[in-house]
Chains A and B, each alone.
Chain A
Amino acid sequence: MKTCFRITVLLSLVCLFVFPCPTTHAQSKVIEIGAPIPLGGVGGAYVGIGWGYTDCQAYINEKGGVRGHKIAYLLEDNRWSVPTEIAVINRLLTMEPKDQLLLFCGNLITGTLKAMSDKINKEVRIPSISLSYSVEMFGKQGGPAKYPYYFSVGPDYSQQVGLLLRYIKKVHKKKSEPRLAVVYSPTEYGRDPLADLKEDVKKLGIKIVAEEEMAITASDVTAQVLNIRKAKPDYILWHGFLPGMPVSTVFLKTVKQYLPKVPILGTHYQTVMGMITAGGPAADGLIGVSTSVMWHETNNPFVKLAHEQAKKRGREIPVGEESNYIGGWMLGLMGAHAVDVAAASGDMTREGVKKALEASTWDFDGMYEGATFSYASHKVPMARIFKASYAQKRWNAMTPWLNVDKELK
């Protein structure tokens, strides 16, 4: 009995030291931004995003925060898995105070957006900026009318594909209409733009000659590539893959060997540095749409800022993580900016942040090089087309910033 008592006392003392009582801070409250990001799992680890957030947080807080409030990005690993991400979001929603956790700003996989749509848009009503470009969420069928609290940072996949199709039309030299092979992953993400794509090609006069699905864990895609080869395409469009998926490099290498002359065009996540580092020479000549800026574009004020900050914090960005680092910065600044606007209008609540985002014309400290656009559609309508150079280890811009609202009329 005595020992029991002693142990209890000891344990309580230990607890006191390990978990100090929450002290009430006299200073202004910290603004929290929930940020689920993939740090492992089948999609690969994108630690660069995390570094981006961390540096962005330090940068903002060193400047004194947002109107006197410190900012905290609550980084969580979602393992690129819908159930994990849902769990993370639910946990943050229940644990963090309503007046502190003002928005989510992170990976937010399409599947999560779909599963959480009622909770986020109707119950909790918290603005959520996602790295998804899902047509279902942000395209014609979705959009602000249906999902008023969902935001995206670029054109949806259908629009991205639309830009690529128009690019094909522009560069196609042969008399006959362009023959296109379409490759996608059998996931929601992969199938997302298919329906719109099929309508679009009809309008543009492009012929789909092959349509292949590739499992994201496949270690061999010879059969698919041989099928494509049989169809004799002029171009291959691939969508629904991440550089961390084993199949991505297998696909690039296989195509390079069976169809060395056919250009491959991809959407945003196929147009990141990781694709060049993983694919090596096989990634050379890859074409893709990106909604982001590239690390080597130091003339861009936004990129310059990221470079300066990385240098200041002694951060070496390894090859392959640059796109992720920039992505972290972009999301971080975007969230902080929205909070800033909301605070300015005296409405520092979730609702205020939503209004601030919708009214935003802000261009990420010059990232879009002065181009103006409206964020009323809940997606930034800007993107560019790039081409990969293995020798230079970078993506070179082939077009200026394109505004899909104008281009895809």
Chain B
Amino acid sequence: MMDFLQFFCSGLLNGLVYALLGLGLVLIFRASEAFNFAVGEFLVVGAFLFYFFYFNWGLPLLIALPLGLGAAGVFGGIVERSVIKPLMGRPHLSMTIITLGLSNILAGGLQATVGSNPYNFSVSLPDLTLDLGPLIFPSTNVWAGILSLAFFTMILLFLYKTRWGLVIQATSESQPKALCFGINAQSVLLLVWAIAAACIGASGIVISNLGALSSQISVVGLRAIPVVLIGGLDSIAGALVGGLIVGIAESLTGAYLEPAGLIGFKEVVPYFVLLIALFIRPYGLLGRVRIERV
């Protein structure tokens, strides 16, 4: 039983990181109706921007973190302006497809600039190791959970408690409608991409802190695909639920199924869960119930 609790809670902590990653994708999907396949590269770029401020310049964490996330936001904005905006008014699929190309271009750019060797990435944070005898949660994992949850909450507060958040929600539903009331839909989209990029960058920082930073951790970004599909592509709560489900499923698989001979099943289990989730609810567990009227 203690065992189960240990694995369950470790999965939960990881799940919070996945949830943050998923949130970035959901924000983009709601606003642009595009699935951002470049999520892995966004993750790496965000983490490297932070790396630059924190490790290279040696700025204190409390300054480097906002700076890094801000820079990640600017990066997201640049991507939106240069790649997504020119496609406005075209079928949404074209945006999704262009993110695939973008992913390749960014991967090449990263390879050329930072190479594929790992960079040591240990942010010095107060030791929060939870050592409860049979249960133990190491400091970096606890911090990963806490930071992810904090970012997630901040973005939720912004979305649901501020005017700009309301406008983002409105624009995400329909750009022409938003335009009617003088909402500058383009600026809102720019903002959404910036926030989403910062969000993905934040999860990149947290993930790098669990291991090392290298352009190869972009594969973790793909973990976000089952996360958001399980939760529902357009649901913010779905990102949280999907993230936790994937985190826990991975942890329990690693604990109970892999030792039984199913090596590598951990990588597949999110898709397995996804399949079941889609059988139950085709829009994802918390996918928006579409208001249909004629």
Contacts and interface: CB of A to CB of B under 8 A. Distances in A.
Interface stretch (A124-132, A249-257, A349-357): A249-257
Contact of A226 (B7, B14, B122, B217): B7
Interface stretch (B64-72, B190-198, B261-269): B261-269
A167 interface: no
Contact of B212 (A223, A226, A230, A246): A246
Interface stretch (A275-283, A308-316, A365-373): A275-283
Interface string B204-232: 00010011101011011001000000000
A119 B138 CA distance: 51
A254 B138 contact: yes
A247 interface: yes
Contacts of B216: 42, 44, 217, 244-246
Interface string A205-243: 000000011010111111110110110000000000001
A266 interface: no
Contact of B122 (A40, A246, A274, A280): A280
Nearest to A256: B138
Contacts of B263: 186, 213, 215
B118 A257 contact: no
B41 interface: no
B156 interface: no
A191 to B, nearest CB: 10
Contacts of B258: 213, 223
A227 B259 contact: yes
A40 B117 CA distance: 9
Contacts of B115: 45, 47
A68 interface: no
13 contacts: A215-B264, A219-B210, A219-B220, A220-B250, A223-B251, A227-B255, A227-B259, A249-B212, A253-B140, A274-B117, A274-B118, A278-B117, A278-B120
Contacts of A320: 117
Given A223-B251, A223-B258, 15 more contacts: A40-B111, A44-B116, A213-B258, A219-B223, A222-B10, A223-B10, A223-B266, A226-B7, A244-B216, A248-B212, A249-B212, A254-B138, A257-B139, A279-B212, A280-B121
B105 interface: no
A213 B263 CA distance: 7
Contacts of B87: none
B136 interface: yes
Interface residues of B, number: 41
A233 to B, nearest CB: 15
A247 B214 CA distance: 11
A320 B214 CA distance: 14
Interface string A265-277: 0000000001001
Contact of B120 (A213, A245, A279): A279
A217 B267 CA distance: 10
Interface string B3-26: 100110010001000000000000
Which bucket holds chain A's interface residue count?
35 or more
Contacts of A223: 7, 10, 250-251, 253-255, 258, 266
Contacts of A220: 14, 210, 250
Contact of B255 (A226, A246, A249, A258): A226
A278 B119 contact: yes
A226 B140 contact: no
A69 B129 CA distance: 63
Contacts of A226: 6-7, 10, 255
Given A215-B267, A223-B254, A278-B119, A257 B212 contact: no
A298 B278 CA distance: 62
Nearest to B209: A253
B117 A282 contact: no
B140 to A, nearest CB: 7
A222 B141 contact: yes
Contacts of A248: 118, 211-212
Interface in A305-345: 320
A227 B214 CA distance: 27
B210 A44 contact: no
A71 to B, nearest CB: 28
A219 B217 CA distance: 8
A206 to B, nearest CB: 21
Nearest to B138: A257
A217 B111 contact: no
Contacts of B122: 253, 280-282
Given A45-B115, A222-B14, A246 B139 contact: no
A97 interface: no
Contact of A186 (B120, B220, B255, B264): B264
Contacts of A227: 255, 259
B134 to A, nearest CB: 10
A244 B254 contact: no
Contacts of A243: 117-118
B136 A247 contact: no
Interface string A29-54: 00000000000111011010000000
Nearest to B141: A222
B95 to A, nearest CB: 27
Contact of A246 (B3, B141, B217): B217
A258 B10 contact: no
Nearest to B214: A246
A265 B258 CA distance: 23
A152 to B, nearest CB: 25
Across chains A and B, which 8 residue pairs bring their CB atoms closest together, nearest first? A223-B254, A257-B138, A250-B211, A249-B212, A280-B120, A278-B118, A249-B211, A219-B220
A9 B14 CA distance: 65
Given A222-B14, A253-B211, A280-B122, A45 B116 contact: yes
Interface in B114-156: 115-122, 129, 136, 138-141
Contacts of B136: 229, 258
